[in-house]
Chains A and B, each alone.
Chain A
C-alpha cells in the first residue's frame, strides 16, 4: 500500500534540475509532497488533487496523473537549500489518512 518513490537518492550540482517520482498501486484522490531536512520535522510543500492539476512552490512544481496513479515533483535550478529528503504521501478517496513513501534523498552541492 505504501507508494513507491524513485529514485532513492540523487546528487545534484547547484543549478541542475531533478525529478522525483511517486507511484501507487491504488486509485488515488490526492498526493501530498513534504520535505524533511536532516534532524528536523517534515514540512508540507503542496497537495495535488485528481484532475491532472499542477502546482508550483517557488521553483518546485508537481504534477498528478490519476489514471497512471503517479505524481512527479520537479525541482528546477536547484539551490543548496533544496537538500533534504522528499516524501510523497497518498490519500485515497474517502480516506482519513495519508500513507507516505520511503522518501528520496536529495543532495545539492555547490
Chain B
C-alpha cells in the first residue's frame, strides 16, 4: 500500500498563477483533509471532506477550493496564488468516526509551495 501520496512535491508559482495539488489514498478512508503548515503555527485545516462529493471549510479556507469526485482523491486548488500562500501543504485521511471517536490521521509527505 502506498498510503497517502501527494503531487507535486515542490512548486514555485508567480503571484496570480493557479495550480492544483493532488492527494490520493489507497486505504479506503472516508475522511480527507488539507492542512497548511507555517513556522510556529502548527497545522491549520484548510478544507476537509467526509465523503465522496462532499466538502467543508476548515479554519483557513479563503483563497482555496477543493473537490472530491472520487473517494480516493482530494484536490486542492489555488485560483490566484498570493505570496501569503507560501507554505507546506499536507493532505491526510482517516476512517469516519466510530463510537464518536475521530480516527487517526495518515499524512502524505507534503508539498512545498513558494509563491513569488
A positions within 8 Å CB-CB of B: 1-2, 29-30, 32, 34, 40-44, 47, 49, 87, 89, 91, 93-103
Contact = CB atoms under 8 A, between A and B. Distances in A.
Contacts of A94: 100
Given A96-B48, A96-B50, A97-B48, A41 B90 contact: yes
Interface residues of B, number: 26
Contacts of B50: 96
20 contacts: A2-B59, A40-B109, A41-B110, A43-B107, A44-B106, A47-B102, A87-B42, A87-B43, A89-B43, A96-B48, A96-B50, A96-B97, A96-B102, A97-B45, A97-B48, A97-B58, A98-B45, A98-B102, A99-B45, A100-B35
Given A30-B102, A47-B101, A94-B100, A100 B42 contact: yes
Interface of B: 31, 33, 35, 40-45, 48, 50, 56, 58-59, 90, 97, 100-102, 104-110
Contact of A49 (B101, B106, B108): B101
The 10 closest A-B pairs by CB, nearest first: A41-B107, A102-B42, A44-B104, A100-B43, A91-B102, A100-B42, A103-B42, A42-B107, A41-B109, A97-B48
